[in-house]
Structure 1
Amino acid sequence: MGRFIRIIRSSADRSLGIILFLLVWELLPTLGIVNKAFLSPPSSVVVSITKLFSTGNLWVHVFASLQRSLSGLLLAIVAGTLLGLFLGWFKRFEAIVDPLLQLFRQISAFALFPVFILFLGIGETSKTAIILWASFWPILLNTVSGVKYVDKLLIDSAKSMGGSQSFLFFRVILPAAAPSIFTGIRLGGAYCITALVAAEMIGSSAGLGFYILNSQEIFQIPDMYAGIIVLAFLGLLLNYILAVIEARFTRWKKGLSVNA
């Protein structure tokens, strides 16, 4: 019984901030403090989301956005992890390449969007490229950091027992760096959702970013906020999935438990 009460209290504490936020949001336009034309109350947004569900348009936009974001994120995971492992393992190579990488990572994905369009057109390839670029850097930097800062005692212990370089890399370095790598992947997931909106604002006919911008242009403000809310939930879902995958691959971490 005591455990049940603790769960209820914890859920109430976690929900309180959201409830207060929604209440303030509902009251501001309802009481006329903020113009309803600019800030639709949550009740109107819920109606718009329900309409999206009932017409089936929601799934068209969600599927288009998922296809783009996952394509870019998966490419970023592969490229960022492989290059990060290589840079973290080979110190001299990192010393040569790092200044160039530090320069490139300062360039915003949004600033490069015109370049991607020039070379790749306004189709799906340029949209995937901007998501890839935005997601790539946190994955790369966290992977490099994870490999470089593996506990030296672990490495020395493996070497003292005659472990080969391949054993050292796959059985010591990679597992020890996994938490940092997954932190980068989760950050990359957040960046890919942010870049998705910008990517879909040009040359798209479907996707949540397109839906948000199109709703704003035709002044369907409740629909605009509905698209924003759905996009936020999509980001939360992606982060949750990545967190579950991380937990399964890093079960050795102390205190970690995963519900099957």
Structure 2
Amino acid sequence: MSSAVQLAGAPVDIPSRIAEPAVPRAQRRPSVALPAIGRIGWRIGKPALVIAAFLALWEAAPRLGFVDEVFLPPFSTVVQAGLELVRNGQLWEHTSTSVTRSLIGFTIALFTAIPVGVAIAWYRPVAEFLNPVLELFRNTAALALLPVFILILGIGETSKIALVVYAGFFPILLNTISGVRTVDPLLVKSAVSLGFSPLRLFQKVILPAAVPSIFTGIRMAASGSILVLIAAEMFGARAGLGYLITAAQQNFQIPDMYAGIVAIALVGLAYNGVLVAIERRLSRWRAH
């Protein structure tokens, strides 16, 4: 609303409410930043709360008699057993052995599955030639072939690494094929119209667009390779987390057995965290 006054015979509107001065942007940032910080804190804290609740339940259930403490010791007892394994060097020895085997096998699977997947997705003759064999083997569980790998490659490191390669190959392969085939055709046509060579087309368009699907397969392969390797180490191995768990169970060292299981979970979390960080770095363009 405004009020009119007579100045020099002409009405002049004078605002009844004087506009407040604009607040500098630097002074408005804290009110906007605080909710963002709160959301980030909740995003980080929520998983931590869930894990803390699970560990508290694990600690309380044996002590309150809900489960037999002999077969499920409290979490604090498992932590003490794990620290003892760290002090005497056993946990590091077995963990490093398993990680080395899984990394070697996973790396071989990664550098073979992605090129094969791109070739199958992009070239029809390659797909028609390889699909029958791939369909036959991809439906065969890796652990079902463990005796075959041991008979052919022996009971040493080669059979275990080969099993990891087999377990990690197909998730990466199938997700690479899916990622390449679902690239937006308009992007491909635009790149071709701009004169991109086939190599530059793959480098700048196909592979970046397929990164999310490929990394889904990579993360699946990483977790699957660890599980398959642990199962393989339970038979005919003298080192590794799988061997540690089996030996502890046979000697009725139950806290040591659970410490080995916790170590496997931590290794899996570390693998997943590294892969998620790499995926975000390679997919930064998607945020723009």
Same-fold status (TM-score > 0.5): yes
Letter aligned with residue 236 of structure 1: L
Deviation of 1:170 (Å) = 2.4
Q: Distance in 1 between matches of 2:38 and 2:191?
A: 47
Larger radius of gyration: 2
Tell me by how many angstroms 1:250 deviates. 2.1
Paired with 2:42 and 2:63, the residues of 1 have a C-alpha distance of 31
Per mean C-alpha deviation after superposition, the further-off stretch among 121-130 and 4-13 is 4-13
**Per-residue CA distance 1:85-125 (angstroms, 9 max, x = gap):** 11111123213322321221110110000000010000000
Counterpart-to-counterpart distance in 2, 1:29 and 1:239: 31
Task: Give the deviation of 1:251 after TM superposition.
Answer: 1.9
Alignment RMSD (CA, Å): 1.6
Instruction: Assess if the C-alpha contact under 8 Å between 1:131 and 1:199 holds in 2.
Output: no
Which residue, 82, 85, 88 being the options, matches 1:49?
82
1:139–1:188 contact (8 Å) kept in structure 2 = yes
Q: Which residue of 2 aligns with 1:163?
A: 196
**2: distance between equivalents of 1:109 and 1:11?**
35
**Which fold has the larger relative contact order, with Cα–Cα distance below 8 Å and residues 6 or more apart in sequence?**
1
Shift in Å at residue 17 of structure 1?
A: 1.3
Q: Give, as a single letter, the amino acid of the residue that structure 2 aligns with 1:19.
A: A
8 Å CA contact 1:131, 1:192 repeated in 2 = yes
| Counterpart residue type for residue 251 of structure 1 | R
- Partner of 1:201 in structure 2? 234
Whether the aligned pair in 2 keeps the contact of 1:130 and 1:195 (CA below 8 Å) is: yes
After TM superposition, the score normalised by the length of structure 2 is: 0.84
User: Counterpart of 2:262?
Assistant: 229
User: Which residue does 1:130 correspond to in 2?
Assistant: 163
Which digits, 9 at most, give the CA deviation of each residue in 1:160-212, with x for residues without a partner? 22322222222221221122112211111111111111121122111111101
Task: Say which of 45, 50, 55 aligns to 1:17.
Answer: 50
Alignment of 1:33-182 (within 5 A): 33-182=66-215
Count of matched residue pairs: 255
Residue 135 of structure 1 aligns with an amino acid whose one-letter code is G
Distance in 1 (alpha carbons) for counterparts of 2:39 and 2:125? 53
Alignment partner of 1:253: what SS? helix
| Deviation digits for residues 105-156 of structure 1 (CA, Å, limit 9, x no counterpart) | 1101100000000100000000001111111111000111111111000011
Q: Does the 8 Å CA contact 1:197/1:209 hold for their aligned counterparts?
A: yes
Structure 1 stretches of at least 4 aligned residues deviating more than 3 Å after TM superposition: 3-12
Gaps of 5+ in 2: 1-29
Q: Percent identity?
A: 48
Matches of 1:86 and 1:207, distance apart in 2: 36
Query: Which amino acid in 2 is paired with 1:54?
Result: R
For the 8 Å contact 1:62–1:208, the answer to whether it is kept is yes
AA at the equivalent of 1:179: P
Q: Separation in 1 of the partners of 2:117 and 2:57?
A: 45
Q: Aligned pair in 2 of structure 1 residues 206, 8: CA closer, same or farther (>3 Å)?
A: same
Task: Give, in whole Å, the separation in 2 of the partners of 1:6 and 1:175.
Answer: 29
- Whether the aligned pair in 2 keeps the contact of 1:179 and 1:250 (CA below 8 Å) is yes
Secondary structure of 1:101's counterpart equals helix
> Which sits farther off after the overlay, 92-101 or 176-185?
92-101
With over 3 angstroms needed to count, the CA separation of the structure-2 counterparts of 1:32 and 1:195, relative to structure 1, is same
The Cα of 1:30 is off from its aligned counterpart by 1.2
Question: 1: distance between equivalents of 2:43 and 2:199?
Answer: 46
Aligned counterpart in structure 2 of residue 215 of structure 1, from 248, 251, 254: 248
Shift of 1:8: 4.3
Cα distance in 1 between the residues matched to 2:44 and 2:191: 45
Match of residue 183, structure 1, among 205, 209, 216:
216
| Structure 2 counterpart of 1:258 | none
Counterpart residue identity of residue 55, structure 2: L
